[in-house]
Every structure is written in structure tokens, then in C-alpha cells.
Amino acid sequence: MGDMIKGNEAIAEAAIRAGARLYAGYPITPSTEIMEYLSTRMDEVGGTFIQAESEIAGVNMVIGASSCGVRAFTASSGPGISLKQEGMTTLSDEELPAVVLNVVRYGNGIGTLLTAQCDYLRETRGGGNGDYRCIVLCPSSIQEAVELIGLAFDLAEKYRMVSVIMTEGALGQMMEPCELPEMREIKRYPWGFDGKYTNKKIGIFDRDSMKEAVLLNEKYNTVKANEQRWESAYLEDADYVFVAYGLPGRSTKGAVEQLRAEGHKVGFIRPITAWPFPEKAFEDLNPNLKGVISIESNATGQLVDDIALTIKKKKKANIPVYCNPHVYGIPATKTIKEDFRKVIAGEMKEVY
């Protein structure tokens, strides 16, 4: 068992050990400890730390570092991530790898400081202009977050796209035992800027956008085919299946274990990639499944849309999909069990 460490600090150290050598950002609760930790740690490993004058400036500095072949990343929360969207579209358009950490906080608009999952649709659909997607990874523990940081950089480089780590305010602020990875050897991207830029032309002119669209779809289809990640259990005999990611996914697992001990045939799917959504996990569902229940920490229900679309794609459109979004915080095991009892009693109506 590793040492007790705060989530944001563990994530920052894991990025260092994965080879990140530039961090540029702007402070915002509940992600600020990432920046605070790196303000001294980056210098110790010969990297570059920049407290930019704004979130926009920070992500643009990441564009410059990535263009030069350096592993670079930024972090923020809520409206700070919104301000970074134009930079993320530029990274996507120029096929530059980078990692963006979103420590999600609740908000109807600009928001509060409460932990939540209200940014799901923005992160999985691409929050800026254009026809692009980001790989989105969703840890349910500090240990998993640390492991996903290295993967995020690797996937960003492999596919030349942005990887988003979508954590939650509570995960960033809490402490757990964590085993940190070994320090990796630093390598610059072989295609990095060296005076003879070899990537496609920058900007909007002299480009074959029809050809680029074909290649874009080929890349995204490859990502969908190869990079779906999830955890699941008890799907083969389950009458009802819960779907939840992140910290609610963690408490959902506990609720499923307790419900099964009480004699209920239930299972769970915990997406680890929000994009690509783990559609393959739904291939193992019981043919006699009675319903799917989405557990979320937002006000409107967002994950539920992808669940319903996947159910339809798997030709199980007659299966009802339920959702009782819990606004913010982490729904307790007891609360999740209460949701289930409302479903089987007919007190909760399906969303789809």
C-alpha cells in the first residue's frame, strides 16, 4: 500500500513521472493544488512551470510546447475549462497531443465549488467549435487517476489528439493511499518543430478539408474500436444494470454488492472512457434485462443519453432506461439502493 496523498497532488506528480515537462495554467478551485504543487516540482525535474495571465493564455502555451515535441498539459475547473476550449480546438485541428485535466465542480452556468459530474456532455462532445472529439478518461480513485495520467499522454501521442482527464472536485481534494509510478525516460515527439515543420498546413487556407474529414473519421473510428475501457460485473444474469462513472461509479459498485447479497439480480458497468463510450460493455447484457439505471451527479442527466443511444444501437430499444440525477456530491450507497427500489416499485419513470 502506498502513502496517503491528496488527489490533485498525486495527479500532478504522476504527470511529472509520465514525462510532462511543461505546465501552463491559471488557478481555480478545486484544481489549484495541481498548479501549486507543480510551481516547485517542475523546476526540480528541469521542466517549465508558467502561471499564465489567463486560462486562454495557458492553453495557448501548451499549443506551443506540444508543437515543439514536449509533453505538456494544463488543468482547470468549470468556467476555466470553458475558456480553454478554443485552444483545445486548435490542438485538435493541428493534431497536436496534449492532456487537459478537468477537476469538475457543480454549476448551472458559472457554478459553485461543489463536486459534481456536470461537464460530461461538454467533454464528450467537444466543447468548442468544429468537428472534433477528445479522448476522455474518468477515474474513480486516486490510484486509478495516477494510472490514467500516463495512459492519457500515451493515447494523445498515439492518435495525435487531446486527452482529457475528467476527475471530480472530491477526488482532487480527498486523500487515499496511492502507489506512484516510476519516473519515465523523457522523449520528445520525433515530429516536433525543428525549423522544418512537417505537419499539415496551419490555418484555413490551402487545405483539402474533404480529404481531412475522411482521415478524421478513420482516426476516430480506430479510437472507438481500440480504446474503449470499462469495469463491469454480474451482467449475464442481471435483471437491472446500473451505469455510473467516477466516484458515483465507486459507490454504485458497493450498492450492487449489497443488493445482490439481498437477493436482487443486479449488475453494473463503470465507464472508464467517457469517449469513446464503452459500447462493447453492453454486449454482455442479459437478454431478459428489465432496465438500465444511470447514476449521475448532475441536475439534468447527461450520461443517460449515451446509455440510451447504446441500448438502441445494440437493438435493445424496448429496455427502459432510468435516471435520477443527484445534482452534486457523491450519491451514497443507501441512496442508490433507494433509487433501485423506486424503479422496481414503479415510482420512478423511465427517461427513455
Tell me, what CATH number does 258's domain have?
A: 3.40.50.920
pLDDT grade, residue 229 (50/70/90)? Answer: very high
Q: Are residues 292 and 270 in the same domain?
A: yes
**CATH code, domain carrying 83:** 3.40.50.970
Beta strands in 61-155, from DSSP E residues, in sequence order:
72-76, 98-104, 135-137
Beta strands in the chain, from DSSP E residues, in sequence order:
3-6, 22-25, 48-51, 72-76, 98-104, 135-137, 162-168, 175-178, 230-233, 240-243, 266-271, 273-275, 291-294, 321-323
Res 241 pLDDT > 90: yes
Total domains, the chain = 2
Angle formed by the axes of helices 7-17 and 32-44, nearest 10° = 40
Q: Are residues 55 and 184 in the same domain?
A: yes
Please give the Cα distance from 317 to 200 (Å, whole number).
42
For residue 67, give the C-alpha cell.
508543437
User: According to the model, what pLDDT value does residue 203 have?
Assistant: 62
Q: Are residues 250 and 332 in the same domain?
A: yes
Is residue 15 a part of any domain in this protein? yes
Is residue 352 a part of any domain in this protein? no
Please give the Cα distance from 128 to 132 (Å, whole number).
9
CB 165 within 8 Å of CB 12:
no
Q: Are residues 160 and 12 in the same domain?
A: yes
Res 201 pLDDT > 70: no
User: According to the model, what pLDDT value does residue 108 have?
Assistant: 86
User: According to the model, what pLDDT value does residue 288 have?
Assistant: 93
CB 245 within 8 Å of CB 304:
no
Is residue 279 a part of any domain in this protein? yes
- Expressed as residue numbers, the domain containing 296 is 230-344
pLDDT grade, residue 194 (50/70/90)? Answer: low
Measuring CA to CA, which residue among 60, 1, 66 is closest to residue 25?
A: 60
Alpha helices for 94-137 (secondary structure H): 120-125
Give the domain-ending residue among 226, 254, 275: 226
CB 24 within 8 Å of CB 52:
yes
* C-alpha dihedral sign at 229, 178, 78, 15: negative
Q: Are residues 121 and 199 in the same domain?
A: yes
Is residue 277 a part of any domain in this protein? yes
**Residues 282/283/289/290 CA torsion (nearest 10 deg):** 30
Please give the Cα distance from 103 to 31 (Å, whole number).
6
Q: Are residues 212 and 238 in the same domain?
A: no
Q: How does pLDDT run across 129-170, given as a tens digit for each residue?
A: 989 999 999 999 999 999 999 999 999 999 999 999 999 999
Give the domain-ending residue among 170, 197, 226: 226
Give the domain-ending residue among 171, 202, 226: 226
Q: Are residues 283 and 324 in the same domain?
A: yes
Q: Are residues 168 and 311 in the same domain?
A: no
Out of 156-165, 191-200, 289-298, least confident range: 191-200
For residue 93, give the C-alpha cell.
485541428
Q: Long-range contacts made by residues 216-225, C-beta under 8 angstroms, separation at least 24?
A: 216/131, 216/132, 219/159, 219/160, 219/161, 220/133, 222/159, 223/133, 223/135, 223/159, 223/161, 223/276, 224/276, 224/279
Q: Residues near 85 by Cβ (< 8 Å), separated by ≥ 6?
A: 127, 128
Please give the Cα distance from 104 to 330 (Å, whole number).
12
Is residue 349 a part of any domain in this protein? no
Q: Are residues 160 and 285 in the same domain?
A: no
* 259-287 mean pLDDT: 97
Q: Are residues 243 and 194 in the same domain?
A: no
Q: Are residues 199 and 263 in the same domain?
A: no
Q: What percentage of the chain carries pLDDT values higher than 90?
A: 87
Q: Are residues 288 and 317 in the same domain?
A: yes
Neighbours of 261 (CB within 10 A): 8
User: According to the model, what pLDDT value does residue 202 have?
Assistant: 57
Please give the Cα distance from 295 to 199 (Å, whole number).
42
